[in-house]
Chain A
Amino acid sequence: MIKFDNVSMRYPQGLDALTNVSFEINKGEMVFLTGHSGAGKSTLLRLILALEQCSGGEVIVNGANLGRLPRSRIPFHRRQIGAVFQDHQLLFDRSVGANVALPLEIAEFPPTEVQRRVRAALDKVGLLNKERMLPARLSGGEQQRVGIARAVVNRPRIILADEPTGNLDPELSAEVMSVFEQFSHVGVSLLIASHDKSLLENFQHRTLALDHGRLISDG
C-alpha cells in the first residue's frame, strides 16, 4: 500500500528533514510513527499525500510512484487517502457537517449519500449533535474529532493521522484509537504519527521511530 525506498527529503531552505528512509506498510496494517518534535513525522506524512516531493528515493502509494505522478493525477491520488492534520485544518466559514462532507463533495457524491455518510462519520466520533455548529465554537478536542470524521467519511484505503490524539483526554483517545482499529480490521492501512508515550504503550502496534530524519527502529 505504502512503500518508502531510500527516501530523503530536504526543504528548500536546506534542512534535511528525512534521510534514507525505507519501509513498507501493507493492506490492513496499523502502524505508529514516533519520534521527537522535528524528527520528520509530519514531513513523512506530507510526502505520502504528495503535498511535498521527496528529493531522493521513491515513494510508492497504491502502486503509483508519486515522483512520476502527473500534476493532474494528484487530486485523485489524495482522494484515496483520509488525512488528519496536526492543526486540524478545518474550514471555519462552514458548519461541522459541511467540513466533514468536504471529501464527499470533492468526489461528487449525490447529496443524499453525502448526508447519510456525514452523519455516520460524526456518530463514530461522538459529535452527531454538533453537525450544524460552526467549528470555532467547538473545543480543541472536538475540532480534532471533526478532522477525524472528515478523514474516514470517504472510507479511504489509507488513513494518515498526524498527532490525532494531541488534544484529547485518555478516554477520548482510546475511543478514537478503537475507531482506527476497526478500519484496519476491514483492510484499511493506517499510519499514525504520535509522540504520546502512553498511547504507544496502551495500543500495541508496529512502530516506526524517527530520529533527526533517520528511521532508527521498525517493530
Chain B
Amino acid sequence: MAKIKQPNTKRTPATRGGAPSQFSHSRIVVHRKVASESLRQLLRAPGTSGLVVVVIAVAMMLPALLLLLTSNLQANMGSVEKAAQITAYFYLAVPDDKALEVSERLQSMAEVADVDYVSASDALTEFSQASGLGATLQSLAQNPLPSALIITPARSSPDTANTIEQSLATFEEVEFVQLDYLWLQRLEALLSLVNQLGGLLLVLVAIGLIVIIGNAIRVGVESKREEIRIIKQFGGADSFIARPFLYTGLYLGAAGGLLACILLLLVLSSLGPAVAEVASLYDSDFQLIGLSVLENLLLITAAAGLGWVSAFTSVLRKIATISA
C-alpha cells in the first residue's frame, strides 16, 4: 500500500465554509458533468420521461395553437378590407360636380385611404351589364340609380369607420351611408375574447405542468431516497442533491417544448389547404403563418424554464424531508 502524502495544511474546499472562488472556473466543469449525467440518466429510462414529455407537448400545444390562430386572424383583418368599405349614396338630384367636391373633401381626411366615385350613369351601365337587363334599362326615361362614393378607410377598424360615417353625415348631399363594420366589430370582439381565453388557458396549462413535472421529479427523488440519505451523511447540502433533479426538470421541459413545436408545425401544415380554401371564398389571400424560428426558440426556452421552476419548487422541499 502506498504512503500517505502530507495532509491538508492548506485549506481545501472541504475544510472551509463556502464555495471557494479559486474553484469557480471548475464549478462550470462540475456543472457540465452533473448536466450530462442527468441527461444520460433520462435517456436510460426513456419510457416514463417520454410520457411526461408528450404530456407537456400536447398541453402546451393547445393554447399555443389557439393563440396562433387568433393572432393570425387579427393580423389578417387587413385582407378583408373590402368588407370594411363604406358606401355613401347621394340624393338623385345631386350633380356630378357636387358629388366630386364631397369626394375630394373626404380624400383629404387622414382616416380615408381611397375614394372611388361611381356616377349614376356608370352605375347603370355596370348594373345593366351585370344583370343582363341591358335593353330594358335603356328604355327607362330616368336613371333610377343614385351616384355613390365607395370609400376605403385607411385602417379597417370600427373606430375609423365611425369617424368617416360621422363626417359623411355633415354633407347634406349624402342620403344614405352603408357600412359593413358591424360584423367586423363583432368578429374583432370574438377574436379578442378567444385570444384572452387562449392566454388564460396558457396560464392554467403552465400551472398544470408545474404540478405534473414537479410530481414526476418528486417520484424520482423518492426512488433515490437511500442514495440521498448517504450523500447527506457525507455532507452533501440540499442544493447539491437537488442539482441533477433541476437539470432533469429543465430537460423534460425543453423536450416537451420541442415536441410541441413539431406538433404545431404538423397541425398547421395539415390545416393549411383547408384554410386557403375558406379564405378564397371570401376573396381573401389569408394564410396561416406558423411560429418563426425565434418564436419556436422562445417556446422551447419557456418550456425549459417551466421545467426548471417545477423541479425547483418541488425538489428542495422534498429533499429537506429526507434525514441522513
Q: Which residues 89-120 of B have a CB within 8 angstroms of A? A: none
Chain B residues with Cβ below 8 Å from A102 are 230-231, 234, 236
Does A75 interact with chain B (Cβ within 8 Å)? yes
Q: Given that A75-B236, A76-B17, A106-B231 are contacting pairs, would A155 and B29 also be in contact in the complex, using a CB cutoff of 8 Å?
A: no
Chain A residues with Cβ below 8 Å from B183 are none
> Do B7 and A155 touch (CB < 8 A)?
yes
Q: How far is the CA of A76 from the CA of B238 in the complex (A)?
A: 12
Chain B residues with Cβ below 8 Å from A201 are none
> Do A186 and B4 touch (CB < 8 A)?
yes
For this complex, into which size category does the number of interface residues on chain B fall?
20 to 34
For this complex, into which size category does the number of interface residues on chain A fall?
35 or more
> CB-defined interface of A141-174 with B at 8 Å, one 1/0 digit per residue?
0000000001000111100000000000000000
Nearest A residue (CB) for B23: A108
Does A79 interact with chain B (Cβ within 8 Å)? yes
> Do A123 and B2 touch (CB < 8 A)?
yes
> CB-defined interface of A17-35 with B at 8 Å, one 1/0 digit per residue?
0000000000000000000
Chain A residues with Cβ below 8 Å from B266 are none
Q: How far is the CA of A182 from the CA of B2 in the complex (A)?
A: 11
> Do B15 and A126 touch (CB < 8 A)?
no
* Min CB–CB distance A156 → chain B (angstroms): 7
Chain B residues with Cβ below 8 Å from A155 are 7-8, 12, 14
Q: How far is the CA of A146 from the CA of B88 in the complex (A)?
A: 94
> Do A178 and B1 touch (CB < 8 A)?
yes
Nearest A residue (CB) for B4: A182
Query: Which of A7-15, A85-93, A191-199, A208-216 is near enough to bind chain B?
Result: A85-93
Does A218 interact with chain B (Cβ within 8 Å)? no
> Do A186 and B7 touch (CB < 8 A)?
yes
> Do B19 and A108 touch (CB < 8 A)?
yes
Nearest A residue (CB) for B24: A108
* Min CB–CB distance B159 → chain A (angstroms): 60
> CB-defined interface of B185-214 with A at 8 Å, one 1/0 digit per residue?
000000000000000000000000000000
Chain B residues with Cβ below 8 Å from A186 are 4, 6-7
> Do A75 and B7 touch (CB < 8 A)?
no
> Do A93 and B1 touch (CB < 8 A)?
no
Q: Which residues 69-92 of A have a CB within 8 angstroms of B? A: 72-80, 83, 85, 89-91
Q: Which of B2, B13, B230 contacts A109 (CB 8 A)?
A: B13
> Do A91 and B227 touch (CB < 8 A)?
yes
Chain A residues with Cβ below 8 Å from B12 are 107, 109, 154-155
> Do B13 and A123 touch (CB < 8 A)?
no
Q: Given that A79-B14, A108-B13 are contacting pairs, would A91 and B236 also be in contact in the complex, using a CB cutoff of 8 Å?
A: no
> Do A85 and B30 touch (CB < 8 A)?
no
> Do B27 and A108 touch (CB < 8 A)?
yes
Chain A residues with Cβ below 8 Å from B27 are 108
Nearest B residue (CB) for A156: B14
Does B166 interact with chain A (Cβ within 8 Å)? no
Q: Which of A51, A109, A110, A157 contacts B15 (CB 8 A)?
A: A157
Q: Which of A49, A126, A182 contacts B233 (CB 8 A)?
A: A49
> Do A77 and B235 touch (CB < 8 A)?
yes
Does B317 interact with chain A (Cβ within 8 Å)? no
Nearest A residue (CB) for B34: A105
Does B279 interact with chain A (Cβ within 8 Å)? no
Does B282 interact with chain A (Cβ within 8 Å)? no
> Do A124 and B234 touch (CB < 8 A)?
no
Q: Given that A126-B1, A188-B7 are contacting pairs, would A103 and B234 also be in contact in the complex, using a CB cutoff of 8 Å?
A: yes
Nearest B residue (CB) for A82: B234
Does A1 interact with chain B (Cβ within 8 Å)? no
Q: Which residues 227-280 of B have a CB within 8 angstroms of A? A: 227, 230-237, 240
* Min CB–CB distance B203 → chain A (angstroms): 35
* Min CB–CB distance B2 → chain A (angstroms): 5
Does B131 interact with chain A (Cβ within 8 Å)? no
Q: How far is the CA of A40 from the CA of B86 in the complex (A)?
A: 96
Chain B residues with Cβ below 8 Å from A120 are 2, 5
> Do A106 and B233 touch (CB < 8 A)?
no
Given A75-B237, A108-B30, A157-B8, 4 extra CB contacts under 8 A: A51-B233, A106-B231, A124-B1, A156-B14
Residues of A at the B interface (CB closer than 8 Å) are 49, 51, 72-80, 83, 85, 89-91, 93, 102-111, 120, 123-126, 150, 154-157, 175, 178-179, 182-183, 186-188
Q: List 22 A-B contacts (CB under 8 A).
A: A73-B17, A75-B235, A75-B236, A75-B237, A80-B14, A91-B227, A102-B236, A105-B30, A106-B236, A106-B237, A106-B240, A107-B13, A107-B235, A108-B26, A109-B12, A110-B29, A111-B30, A124-B1, A155-B8, A157-B15, A179-B1, A186-B7
Leading 8 A-B pairs by shortest Cβ distance:
A78-B235, A110-B26, A79-B235, A107-B13, A75-B237, A186-B7, A107-B14, A182-B4
Residues of B at the A interface (CB closer than 8 Å) are 1-8, 12-15, 17, 19, 23, 26-27, 29-30, 33, 227, 230-237, 240, 324
